[in-house]
């Protein structure tokens, strides 16, 4: 079926433009706008952009469906304008076997309304001891390799992983936190953590691990992605590595771009993350890094947790927050602050992850997949966590005044989400 989306503000991250115009879909692909259309939707001047490709999503299947399933995660993604989920390997069993990749693909095809791809485990069982069978996992469909939030502490093992990944052209995604420095802490080391009586994580833990990783990248020539960079010094090291010509990219979570350490307030556990929320100076350095393109990708860092693991003292509470459905509206804060326009934002939300992972999305050009989000970037609302689609409700934005509402989401030209009152 052909579909014409007319009178839309076309946000094209590839061209870096925002222009009023029409976009036509045929057979699941973006087509020449002058052709026939069986259905017409007047977008009323609202923004139409490539669907978000979220590079950091935890889905609890297999093993942790009580936290998030592909059904609930897919509904949350569609409601948030995310058309492709990149699932993390911290499942049970771990995604370190091609059979697990295949079973996830089948399960997602059955019940998830958006595209699903997976990252394979970098080491067997995520234990950091032996390299996983990356070649077989890549053949099965894994788009990159990571141990998720667990850094590979052993430099010999990590070098072997980088060397093999380089030989097969694979992307290695690593969490740059020196584990012995960061393991016992739960807030950024400094006056505020001391005031709250919380054990601190020194920002240097990120710098130390990044410096080790980048030295090994220089030796091996591997493609390396630093996941959830959170400090000004981390941004500087990524900038310097790129200037030296290393095959390096980086991402920052939307939480670290919009929140800082003071948001912890009175030990509010929905604001406990890994890495912890940083200083305002670090946050501003991250925003600047995103605006410059030093930080390539913005992710949701979607980490659903049980209510029981969050309603406990801060020090022992689980880390992370949901983010699939709140990613776009939270990103509008960066636009409102004048840091990035819509085209630049979608370059970080859609185009860059597509290019890094070798996916065809992130563009509005003819022939690209018709994975699209129609949204009102200026629509105000108050976030209510109980209205979110995710099975878990641990969002730090609960009760916050926000802007930016997804109106419709399309995957391969098929509508997978429509907000009540959306343009018809």
- pLDDT of 94 reads 98
Q: Does 424 have pLDDT greater than 80? A: no
Residue 292, pLDDT above cutoff 80 = yes
Tokens coding 216 = 């090994």
Tell me the per-residue pLDDT of 155-207, one tens digit each, with 9 for 90 and over. 999 999 999 999 999 999 999 999 999 988 999 999 999 999 999 999 999 99
Residue 248: CB atoms within 10 Å: 24
Asked whether the predicted pLDDT for residue 343 surpasses 80, the reply is yes
List the one residue out of 260, 205, 275 whose CA is nearest residue 237: 205
Question: Looking at residue 55, what is its pLDDT?
Answer: 98
Once rounded to an integer, what is the mean pLDDT over residues 100-128?
Answer: 97
Residue 423 has pLDDT above 80, yes or no: no
State percent of the chain over pLDDT 70: 100
Sign of CA dihedral 346, 350, 355, 357: positive
Range scoring the smallest mean pLDDT among 16-20, 36-40, 175-179, 325-329: 36-40
Q: What is the pLDDT of residues 202-242, one digit of tens each?
A: 999 999 999 999 999 999 999 999 999 999 999 999 999 99
**Looking at residue 13, what is its pLDDT?**
98
User: Would the CA dihedral through 44, 325, 171, 244 be positive or negative?
Assistant: positive
Cα–Cα distance between 97 and 124 in angstroms, integer?
9
Residue 264 in this model has a pLDDT that exceeds 90: yes
Give 408-422 pLDDT, tens digit per residue: 999 999 999 999 877
Q: What CATH class has 50-359?
A: alpha beta
Angle value at C-alpha 63, between 396 and 53, nearest 5 degrees? 50
Q: What is the mean pLDDT of residues 124-153?
A: 97
Residue ranges covered by each domain of the chain: 50-359
pLDDT of residue 421: 78
Q: What is the pLDDT of residues 332-342, one digit of tens each?
A: 999 999 999 99
Tally of residues, the chain: 424
pLDDT tens digit sequence for 49-62: 999 999 999 999 99
- Distance, in Å, from the CA atom of 350 to the CA atom of 300, rounded to the nearest integer, reads 12
Question: CA-to-CA distance for 145 and 118, rounded, in angstroms?
Answer: 9
Residue 418 backbone dihedrals phi, psi, to 5 degrees: -145, 120
What's the pLDDT band for 36 if we cut at 50, 70, 90? confident
Exposure pattern of 126-143 as b/e (b: 16+ CB <10 Å)? bebeebbbbeebbebebb
The average pLDDT across 102-128 equals: 97
Which pLDDT score, from 0 to 100, does residue 84 have? Answer: 98
Per-residue pLDDT band for 389 (boundaries 50, 70, 90) equals: very high
Enumerate long-range contacts of 32-38, CB under 8 Å, 24 or more apart: 32/366, 33/4, 35/2, 36/2, 37/2, 37/3, 37/4, 38/1, 38/2, 38/3
Token pair 């706008």 is found at: 33
Q: pTM of the entire structure? A: 0.97
Mean pLDDT across 136-140: 98
For the segment 354-370, the average pLDDT, to the nearest whole number, is: 97
Q: For residue 420, what pLDDT is reported?
A: 86
Backbone φ/ψ region at 364: left (φ over 0), alpha (ψ -120 to 50), beta: alpha
- Residue corresponding to tokens 């689609």: 389
**How much is the pLDDT for 365?**
96
């Amino acid at each position: 079926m052909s579909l014409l989306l007319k009178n839309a503000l076309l946000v094209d991250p590839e061209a870096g433009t925002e222009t009023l115009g029409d976009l036509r879909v045929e057979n699941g692909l973006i087509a020449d706008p002058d052709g026939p259309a069986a259905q017409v939707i007047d977008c009323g001047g609202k923004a139409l952009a490539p669907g978000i490709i979220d590079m950091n999503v935890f889905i609890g299947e297999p093993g942790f469906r009580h936290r998030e399933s592909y059904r609930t995660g897919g509904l949350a993604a569609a409601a948030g304008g995310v058309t492709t989920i990149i699932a993390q390997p911290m499942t049970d069993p771990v995604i370190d076997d091609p059979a697990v990749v295949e079973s996830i693909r089948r399960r997602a095809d059955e019940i998830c309304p958006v595209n699903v791809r997976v990252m394979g485990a970098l080491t067997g069982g995520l234990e950091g001891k032996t390299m996983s069978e990356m070649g077989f996992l890549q053949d099965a469909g894994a788009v990159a390799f990571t141990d998720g939030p667990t850094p590979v502490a052993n430099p010999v093992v990590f070098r072997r992983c980088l060397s093999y990944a380089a030989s097969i052209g694979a992307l290695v995604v690593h969490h740059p936190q020196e584990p012995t420095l960061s393991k016992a802490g739960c807030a950024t080391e400094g006056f505020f953590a001391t005031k709250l009586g919380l054990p601190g994580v020194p920002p240097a833990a990120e710098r130390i691990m990044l410096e080790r990783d980048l030295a090994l990248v220089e030796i091996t020539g591997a493609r390396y992605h630093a996941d959830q960079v959170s400090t000004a010094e981390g941004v500087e090291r990524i900038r310097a590595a790129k200037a030296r010509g290393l095959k390096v990219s980086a991402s920052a979570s939307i939480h670290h771009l919009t929140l800082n350490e003071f948001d912890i307030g009175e030990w509010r556990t929905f604001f406990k993350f890994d890495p912890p929320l940083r200083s305002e100076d670090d946050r501003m350095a991250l925003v600047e890094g995103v605006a410059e393109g030093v930080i390539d990708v913005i992710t949701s860092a979607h980490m659903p947790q049980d209510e029981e693991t969050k309603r406990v003292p801060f020090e022992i509470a689980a880390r992370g927050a949901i983010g699939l459905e709140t990613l776009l509206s939270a990103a509008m804060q960066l636009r409102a602050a004048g840091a990035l326009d819509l085209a630049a934002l979608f370059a970080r939300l859609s185009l860059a992850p597509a290019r890094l992972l070798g996916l065809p999305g992130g563009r509005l050009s003819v022939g690209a997949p018709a994975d699209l989000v129609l949204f009102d970037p200026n629509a105000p609302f108050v976030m209510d966590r109980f209205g979110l689609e995710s099975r878990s409700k641990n969002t730090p934005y609960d009760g916050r005044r926000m802007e930016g509402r997804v109106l419709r989401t399309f995957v391969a030209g098929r509508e997978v989400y429509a907000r009540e009152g959306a343009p018809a």
